Structure 1
Amino acid sequence: MKTKFHIAGHLVGMIGRMTISLLFIFLYVQTVHAQENKSVSVVSSSLRVEIPGSQLQKITSAIVGQEYDLYIHLPRNYGSKDQKHPVLLLLDAQWDFPLVTAIFGQQFYDGFLPGIVIVGITWGGKNPNHDSLRARDLTPNNAAPLRQSGGAPKFLAFIKQELIPFIESKYHVLDDRTLMGSSFGGLFTLYALFTETELFQRYVLTSPALAWANDGIYTFEKNYAAKQSRLPVRLFMAVGDLEDVAGFQKFANQLKVRNYDGLALQTRVLEDTGHSGTKAEGYTRGLQFVFARPSLKLDAAILAQYAGTYALNPETKVVISVENDHLVAQGPYNAKLVLRAETEQDFYVPGQYLFARFKKDEQGRVAGFQLQQFGGEGFARRVGASD
């Protein structure tokens, strides 16, 4: 079943749809325009808009006693059983699933993110009261005046014992998970961090409700610090500058003072931004940070072995040189691209979906590089400069 979202309005007849496909080929750009007309059916005076690549699954939790809807988004490179993908668990999918799938598409296209399976969690059943249910499931402490609050332990147990096995049984996913949420969702993300740390490797949160239950989240962090000196995760937190910045920075400073071994932490205060507006920029920057590729400084001798001329095809040659401790690729029209090292043989161009893996022959000599780009890949063979 595909996930559908409704936009109010009366539309009748045919709608022209323009699709612009940008296919980046190494060192030149080709733009393809295609236009297609399709009929649009009107259902209950509203137009149903599908998010491509999305599905709807349902799961009933015995732990919580609640039906949940799961909005699933699969990356464009999903399909092979031999290739598994990281998982992003998104809280409050009833609001944020369209936003996050759009962010993912942009960041994947620019090479910042790998292919990720997004699992958006929201409440199922007939006419669920999202405000009441999220106050129940996403808060770790019971606090007045919300008598139903404090259900985070059960909700986290549902994620660990029921949801994750369900996803792993149906999709090609890795044991590589990210948890992301905002407001109460940000509070829950921190609660999961300090109580089930190893369940996720990456945590992204914006505008966390730190003051809930008289700053109750501090107790969970304090209890964790009393037993552990390591916190081996990547954590991103953001807040709007029109929110309680002092409270946010107080909590961030407490994490920094702990000097947890293995913690990679980045925080941001977003300019001219209120509580609900932190998600777009915060989720974008957060995903970039927690999935950031390494940029290694390689020995000069390692880089030098890759210098030379390579042929993508008889008409297209690329010259690889070493400049300022980096490989530089120069092709037609003398355009240059700086290649960052992810490993000793894997390189990438920041801000582009462009990856190169150098390969050697049986004698240990560099034979060429495998080029992977958005929409295709190919092998560039090493040749003599005069070939």
Structure 2
Amino acid sequence: MSTFRSLIILAVMAGALVILAPGVPVVPKETTSPLVVGETFTIESQVLGETRRINIYVPPGRAESPDARLPVLYMPDGGTAEDFLHVMGLIQVSVGNGTMRPFLLVGIENTQRRRDLTGPTESPDDKKIAPRVGGSEAFRTFIRQELMPQVKARYRTTDEAAVMGESLAGLFVVETFLLEPDLFDTYIAFDPSLWWNDQKLVGGAAERLRARPKLAKTLYFASSNEPGLVRRAQRFAQVLTAAAPPGVRWHYEEMPTETHATIYHPAALRAFRAVFKPAK
């Protein structure tokens, strides 16, 4: 998860995401009004056995017709104290200046991040990072069976869907691309934690890719200056070069001036411009 921290405080009020400036003297209530930047709702997940909060941003420039429909960008680490705000800002600016198509942003707020974003592991060291790990399959089921239908019911969307994440969320993105590629159309991962389970995901990637005669998907991934992450990302790029089936459009971006803590925001900007270009 990005270490980005906004200089604003968010409060959830009546289903809307509201921002309040910190450190500002209290003004009589009748002279102020909330600044609404999005919406929020909860899902009582039967799959995960818990309540999950979902944050939504509808960008400007969504076509002039009130019946216009938007593609959807799903984002783990999507809480207001996580990566939702800065990604929302990137979409707002990028759509406004015409460098990306408008997408409905769906931020999935974490409860047990390391449980949801990791697959099974045989590594004793991996199992030490949290009381529960290896829940990525259940998390995908939650997205597919519970979240996506809710989004389609609440908002006017197209069938196009993308997913984006960094670090463990990037691992989830790559794992989903390899294990259940039909869930999304576009996969975006930054500094994915491909070291998980002794790198077995990348180790088995070529066999999985070759088993698919054609795969019309888009994959964009980037790495920072973290040596261990770079090596594994480069190895994954080599696998894709050798084994990616026809139809896969993929790009690997090395960003050596960024650290693991800083890569998300600049990499997301590059990814949006590369894979979500407006139609000419």
- Shorter chain as denominator, the TM-score bin is 0.7 to 0.9
Residue pair 1:113, 1:288 contacting (<8 A) in 2 also: yes
1:273 alignment counterpart: 258
User: Aligned to 1:71, which of 23, 38, 55?
Assistant: 55
**Larger relative contact order (C-alpha < 8 A, sep ≥ 6)?**
2
Query: SS state of the match for residue 134, structure 2?
Result: coil
* Greater mean deviation of Cα atoms: 106-115 or 274-283: 106-115
User: In the aligned structure 2, how far is the partner of 1:59 from the partner of 1:291?
Assistant: 29
User: In the aligned structure 2, how far is the partner of 1:187 from the partner of 1:50?
Assistant: 35
User: In the aligned structure 1, how far is the partner of 2:36 from the partner of 2:237?
Assistant: 36
2:99 alignment counterpart: 112
Q: Calculate the TM-score normalised by the size of structure 2.
A: 0.84
Cα RMSD after superposing both structures: 2.2
1:136 and 2:115 equivalent?
yes
1:241 and 2:225 equivalent?
yes
Residue pair 1:136, 1:149 contacting (<8 A) in 2 also: yes
Pair 1:165–1:137, CA change in 2 (3 A): same
1:292 and 2:277 equivalent?
yes
The count of corresponding residues between Structure 1 and Structure 2 is 256
Query: SS state of the match for residue 16, structure 2?
Result: coil
User: In the aligned structure 2, how far is the partner of 1:226 from the partner of 1:268?
Assistant: 23
Residue pair 2:215, 2:247 contacting (<8 A) in 1 also: yes
1:149 alignment counterpart: 133
2:150 alignment counterpart: 166
After superposition, the C-alpha distances for 1:5-38 in whole angstroms (9 at most, x for unaligned) are 5654242349xxxxxxxxxxxxxxxxxxxxxxx9
1:215 alignment counterpart: 199
User: In the aligned structure 1, how far is the partner of 2:213 from the partner of 2:131?
Assistant: 35
After superposition, the C-alpha distances for 1:75-127 in whole angstroms (9 at most, x for unaligned) are 2244855211100101101211111111111111221222211100013xxxx
Residue pair 2:218, 2:250 contacting (<8 A) in 1 also: yes
CA shift, 1:155, in A, is 0.3
Indicate the percent of aligned positions where both proteins have the same amino acid: 25
After superposition, the C-alpha distances for 1:151-184 in whole angstroms (9 at most, x for unaligned) are 0000001101111011001100000001000001
Residue pair 2:210, 2:244 contacting (<8 A) in 1 also: no
User: In the aligned structure 2, how far is the partner of 1:223 from the partner of 1:271?
Assistant: 30
Report which of the two structures shows the higher radius of gyration computed on alpha carbons: 1
**Which one has the bigger strand percentage?**
1
After superposition, the C-alpha distances for 1:316-353 in whole angstroms (9 at most, x for unaligned) are xxxxxxxxxxxxxxxxxxxxxxxxxx6xxxxx4xxxxx
CA shift, 1:259, in A, is 3.7
1:9 alignment counterpart: 23
User: In the aligned structure 2, how far is the partner of 1:96 from the partner of 1:50?
Assistant: 19
User: Aligned to 2:70, which of 85, 88, 91?
Assistant: 85
Pair 1:67–1:6, CA change in 2 (3 A): farther
User: In the aligned structure 1, how far is the partner of 2:255 from the partner of 2:31?
Assistant: 42
**Which one has the bigger helix percentage?**
2
1:100 and 2:84 equivalent?
no
CA shift, 1:64, in A, is 1.1
The one-letter code of the counterpart of 1:256 is T
Residue pair 2:225, 2:260 contacting (<8 A) in 1 also: no
Q: Which runs of no fewer than 5 residues in structure 1 stay unpaired?
A: 15-37, 42-48, 294-341, 343-347, 349-387
The one-letter code of the counterpart of 1:4 is V
User: In the aligned structure 2, how far is the partner of 1:138 from the partner of 1:257?
Assistant: 27
User: In the aligned structure 1, how far is the partner of 2:36 from the partner of 2:252?
Assistant: 31
Pair 1:150–1:116, CA change in 2 (3 A): same
User: In the aligned structure 1, how far is the partner of 2:96 from the partner of 2:60?
Assistant: 10
1:198 alignment counterpart: 182
Residue pair 2:72, 2:160 contacting (<8 A) in 1 also: yes
Pair 1:280–1:51, CA change in 2 (3 A): farther
Q: Calculate the TM-score normalised by the size of structure 1.
A: 0.62
User: In the aligned structure 1, how far is the partner of 2:20 from the partner of 2:208?
Assistant: 43
Residue pair 1:51, 1:98 contacting (<8 A) in 2 also: no
1:227 and 2:214 equivalent?
no
Residue pair 1:266, 1:289 contacting (<8 A) in 2 also: no
User: In the aligned structure 1, how far is the partner of 2:36 from the partner of 2:263?
Assistant: 23
Residue pair 1:12, 1:40 contacting (<8 A) in 2 also: no
Query: SS state of the match for residue 144, structure 1?
Result: helix
User: In the aligned structure 2, how far is the partner of 1:161 from the partner of 1:219?
Assistant: 29
User: Aligned to 2:109, which of 90, 101, 122?
Assistant: 122
